[in-house]
Amino acid sequence: MHFSGIRIFPGTLIQAQAVKEGIIEENDSLLNPVYYFSPDIGREKLNNVILEGFEGRMDRIFPPSQGLEMARAMNRHGFYGLLWDRLVYYG
């Protein structure tokens, strides 16, 4: 499962970049999601930078699986609906 990166769509500049870098082939089907990660940064480093940037923020969730855990916990306490609404209101 991917938590970061840029989804590659046909006919976009990021598709051209990914082809140029050998990440995908020009005629690859992008029907199933394919994500671009810069070879200069790498997936693990990018995820660590995101985690560090979100540290201490109540209105940010990373990785997305953490949001699912929070939603389940809130459901057990009677809260339903959009998790975002509950996270933004924490005052």
86 confidence band (pLDDT: 50, 70, 90): low
Question: Per-residue confidence at 83, pLDDT binned at 50, 70, 90?
Answer: low
**Spatial separation of the C-alpha atoms in residues 59 and 75, rounded to whole Å:** 18
Q: How far is the C-alpha of 23 from the C-alpha of 6, rounded, in Å?
A: 13
DSSP state of 3: S
Tell me whether residue 70 is exposed, middle or buried, using C-beta atoms within 10 angstroms of its C-beta: 0 to 12, 13 to 18, 19 or more.
Answer: middle
**pLDDT score of 89:** 57
What value does the mean pLDDT of the chain take? 81
Mean pLDDT of 39-61: 82
Higher pLDDT, 24 or 47: 24
Q: What's the pLDDT score for residue 40?
A: 86
d(CA 19, CA 71): 38
6, β-bridge pairs = 36
